[in-house]
Structure 1
Amino acid sequence: MLSPTREHLRDTFWFAPTAGLVGAIALWLAASAVDAEIVAYLREQGAYAEIEDLAGIADDAKVIVTTISSAMMTFIGVVFSISLVAVQMAAGQLTPRVVRLFVRGRISKLTLTVFLSTFLFSLLVLTSYESETDPRQVTSVPVVQSVVTLVLVGLSLLLFIAYVTTTLRLMQVGPVVDRIAREALRVAARQPAAGPEQVPLPPEVGRVVHRGRAGVLRDVDVARLVRVARRQGVVLRLIPRIGDHLVPGTPVLAVLSDAGVRDGRAPSPAVLRSAVSVGVDRTFHQDMGLGLRQLVDIALRALSPAVNDPTTAVQCLDRVVQFLAAVAPRPLGTVRHCDRRGVVRLVREVPDWDDLVDLAFAELRGCSAQSPQVTRRMLAGIDDLLLLAPAARREPLLRHRALLEQAVERAVALPADRGFALEADRQGIG
């Protein structure tokens, strides 16, 4: 399981550029030291002619560096203004949650980092130019710094091409739903398997309630909670599920113990609360249902009368079926985290199979009865899942299939149209 801190930093847009600016300062200091060493070595050798040649090269490079420093911020403003307009259009056409793909995108952060670092580095290089013209008095000639500036400019141009390409892909339905599906599949793959409840849990001896502002339970620091529970000899149970909205006073963690708390000391509520992250929006870190939620949101918007784009809904259904097929054989439900000795220390709930199937089909089924392209694709997807899912997990699929058939029969008047809408087709209407 990835560190929650690392995941939270991925959801920010300030950390990478800030780290890049610090790196630019460090790189300038290193390049300045190299330039000073070069001049000092030439002075020791009495090669004042070479120092004068280097100063001439540096003076020519100064014009380029000055141009770069004055143009870079304008370039940054224009590029990101256009990009934000493109993201806004994608958010309006698909879902506002698509902005998160832009924020988490590595190429977006890398591009902004390199752009700002180039600008700062060029300003620092300009401060290294000396007004002294006598080679015997020169202490440093920023030749290496100028070369590094040109390298950063070349890297900025390459990243600009990659960045524009990535941003334009955010305006296309296929790449967006593909990225959401890949994120959802990664979350499902990271989730520990929910094993059978072989050992009964001890009784509850206390609870920890949420303090602070209301928000969504984004994730929990599993490793810290397991350590605290092991140290105190108790079991912790996460009461809400990841993605639930919490208000102050809501119970978050239950403390379970057979013989009370070791040494009469309960786990510190402050320590336990610090391991629970509450924020404004849900994140992919530990939330298995978020990917399906976003895919369904895009499909619902596509099926709305204002948009009327069933092909987009079919593309979302492709990824919904892909996700359900991937998690169909996995144990779902209650997850038990153990310490190094194999003792259960943390228990939490993840969506079970019925929850995921309802999330995938309940709303879409109600909005797609009059769209034969979507009903045909949904029936084909359910039929495929019936072949892939274990026998014990077929009931919710059969239930949604029957409800979809009933909805089509009520919504479509002509028998021929009903028969057409109820034919399974993986392309909807191929």
Structure 2
Amino acid sequence: MMDTTEKRPRRAAVSSVRARIYTIRAAFRSRLWPLPVVAVALAVTLGVGLPILDDLVDQQLPEVLQRYLFSGGPEAARAVLQSISGSLITVTSLTFSLTVVTLQLASSQFSPRLLRTFTSDSFVHGTLALFLGTFSYSLTVLRTVRSSTSTGSEFVPDIAVTVAFLLAIASVVGLVLFLAHLTREIRVESMMRNVHTATSATIRRVIPQYQAPGATDAPPSVGAATAVGVAENPRGQRIMSSSSGFLSAVDAAGLAAAARKSGAVIRLDQRPGASLIAGVPFATVWASAGRAFSSAELEELTAKIGAEVTIGFERTDDQDPAFGFRQLADVAARALSPGTNDPTTAVHVIGHLSSLLCELVGRDLSDERIRDSDGTVRVILARPRFYEFLSIAVSQIRHYGLQDAAVGSRLLALFEEVAWCDRRGAALEALHSGLGEVRESMELHSYTSAEKRMLVDKYEHVRTAVSGGDPLR
């Protein structure tokens, strides 16, 4: 039989590399400047190269092809290029202004945490890149147009000017598509869909499917030597955070390598999305055979651990699936505020949250253990528990929205739907506790007799489902 334990570190390393690549890509994707800067560089290169090619092949092109190329003189070429460059910088300013207005609207009306969704929009990046690239290309080609003088003959780069004309047409089409895209993306339904899609992708990427343990599977342990260390020093030694911010990403393979080299077990007590404060513990380490690390060893191990975690000034969805729940819950809370008073949006948010919770009940939310080739656990990474996701999804809506019977009914339906999807019963305890809190909150509000009867009947129906009965009976 093949020994699969030897492949675990390799798989962890590959997974870590993929996570690091994804983190870097996500960091660039959330900024507006990388793609436009690349487009400007390529446009300038093309603007330098095409006139040279023009000079080499212009007289050798077939006549049928020359009919479709620019055929004007130097003055006409300058007029075309100046018109394109002048109008494109104006259109670019308009596009940027509309984007800023959209960001402000999303921040004030829905949630400040939705700004990252808009700044990560590849369509916006592509549109700005097209406009700035066309502008830079036209300016670069403009400098190569020459009129006939005593020191040289006239030169009009027909191919280059034709390409500038085509880029201008593409920019006009891009502007129309951008306006259509903007009006679609600014709708709250589109924003909720985007957050839902991103959160679902994060769940699938960082939380594995639950696998029922086989009869021959050994319980997770920390290895013989390390078990002694944990037993003799159950509290371990604390690792302090070197800076303040949000824990954005963790390089699991890097932590495993640091633990193996130091002969330690590292438990990361905080998970991606947690707020870290400089000087406050966020991890625990144990030395093998029950000994304690010296001050110098602990300082070195602290530096190694700090190098394998990323601390940023804002939460991201790279390794933090709870962030998407927070974004959706914020939209619901803002919709339920007296200044907005939009319970329908809150009902739609609950539908998205229910779908994500149903996806979570099939996932393994136990702590992740990364092992050596000999099966010794070297790194323990905490994962958020289901009740934490449920609390994020329900608490604020329960607090602000139960005065509306439609919101209360939809919130009760969430518990029923998740209970139906929870085939192994892992979430029933959390659902039962959360349902009791909803019932207590409902008693604090006044309803009409019809609304109260409807909510009570719905509650009893859902309570049967959460207690293990058939949710659809």
| Aligned position for 1:401 | 435
Amino acid of the structure 2 residue aligned with 1:237: R
Amino acid of the structure 1 residue aligned with 2:241: H
2: CA distance between counterparts of 1:377 and 1:231? 53
TM-score w.r.t. length of structure 1: 0.86
1: CA distance between counterparts of 2:147 and 2:374? 69
1: CA distance between counterparts of 2:222 and 2:374? 17
1: CA distance between counterparts of 2:193 and 2:457? 26
Counterpart secondary structure, 1:19: helix
Amino acid of the structure 2 residue aligned with 1:393: A
Of 110, 118, 134 in structure 1, the residue corresponding to residue 126 of structure 2 is 110
1:361/1:376 Cα in 2 relative to 1: closer, same or farther (>3 Å)? same
1:344 to partner: Cα distance: 4.1
| Aligned position for 2:14 | none
2: CA distance between counterparts of 1:226 and 1:179? 34
1:286/1:152 Cα in 2 relative to 1: closer, same or farther (>3 Å)? same
1: CA distance between counterparts of 2:311 and 2:52? 46
Counterpart secondary structure, 1:392: coil
Of 215, 222, 229 in structure 2, the residue corresponding to residue 200 of structure 1 is 222
Superposed, 1:27-426 pairs within 5 Å as 27-38=46-57, 56=72, 59-132=75-148, 137-138=152-153, 141-193=156-208, 198-200=220-222, 202=226, 203=229, 207-212=238-243, 214-258=244-288, 269-338=302-371, 344-389=377-422, 390-412=424-446, 414-424=448-458
* Residues 350 and 411 in structure 2, CA contact (< 8 A), matched pair in contact too: yes
1:361/1:272 Cα in 2 relative to 1: closer, same or farther (>3 Å)? same
* Residues 379 and 422 in structure 1, CA contact (< 8 A), matched pair in contact too: no
Of 13, 32, 35 in structure 2, the residue corresponding to residue 13 of structure 1 is 32
1:268 to partner: Cα distance: 5.7
* Residues 77 and 156 in structure 2, CA contact (< 8 A), matched pair in contact too: no
1:351 to partner: Cα distance: 1.0
1:144/1:207 Cα in 2 relative to 1: closer, same or farther (>3 Å)? farther
Structure 1: tracts of 5 or more residues without a match: 43-49, 426-430
- CA deviations 1:146-203 (Å, max 9, x no partner) are 2222232233223222322222123311111111111110000001438886113734
* Residues 239 and 284 in structure 2, CA contact (< 8 A), matched pair in contact too: yes
2: CA distance between counterparts of 1:224 and 1:37? 54
Amino acid of the structure 2 residue aligned with 1:247: I
Structure 1 vs Structure 2 CA RMSD: 3.2
Counterpart secondary structure, 2:402: coil
1: CA distance between counterparts of 2:254 and 2:153? 57
1:16 to partner: Cα distance: 1.8
1:333 to partner: Cα distance: 3.1
2: CA distance between counterparts of 1:338 and 1:9? 32
2: CA distance between counterparts of 1:303 and 1:338? 47
* Residues 48 and 141 in structure 2, CA contact (< 8 A), matched pair in contact too: no
- CA deviations 1:188-224 (Å, max 9, x no partner) are 0001438886113734775543224x21112123343
1: CA distance between counterparts of 2:36 and 2:242? 32
Equivalenced residues, count: 414
Amino acid of the structure 2 residue aligned with 1:142: P
Counterpart secondary structure, 2:444: helix
**Stretch moving more, 376-385 or 84-93:** 84-93
TM-score w.r.t. length of structure 2: 0.78
1:293/1:102 Cα in 2 relative to 1: closer, same or farther (>3 Å)? same
| Aligned position for 1:23 | 42
Counterpart secondary structure, 1:236: strand
* Residues 106 and 186 in structure 2, CA contact (< 8 A), matched pair in contact too: yes
Amino acid of the structure 2 residue aligned with 1:406: E
Amino acid of the structure 2 residue aligned with 1:89: L
1:156/1:420 Cα in 2 relative to 1: closer, same or farther (>3 Å)? same
1:71 to partner: Cα distance: 1.4
| Aligned position for 1:428 | none
2: CA distance between counterparts of 1:162 and 1:283? 28
Identity, % of aligned positions:
26
1:417 to partner: Cα distance: 2.7
Counterpart secondary structure, 1:282: coil
**Stretch moving more, 108-117 or 137-146:** 137-146
2: CA distance between counterparts of 1:238 and 1:91? 33
* Residues 48 and 140 in structure 2, CA contact (< 8 A), matched pair in contact too: no
Amino acid of the structure 1 residue aligned with 2:242: R
1:59 to partner: Cα distance: 4.7
1: CA distance between counterparts of 2:456 and 2:327? 26
1:25/1:424 Cα in 2 relative to 1: closer, same or farther (>3 Å)? farther
1:283 to partner: Cα distance: 0.2
Structure 2: tracts of 5 or more residues without a match: 1-17, 61-65, 214-218, 231-235, 460-473
1:278 to partner: Cα distance: 1.6
1:273/1:364 Cα in 2 relative to 1: closer, same or farther (>3 Å)? same
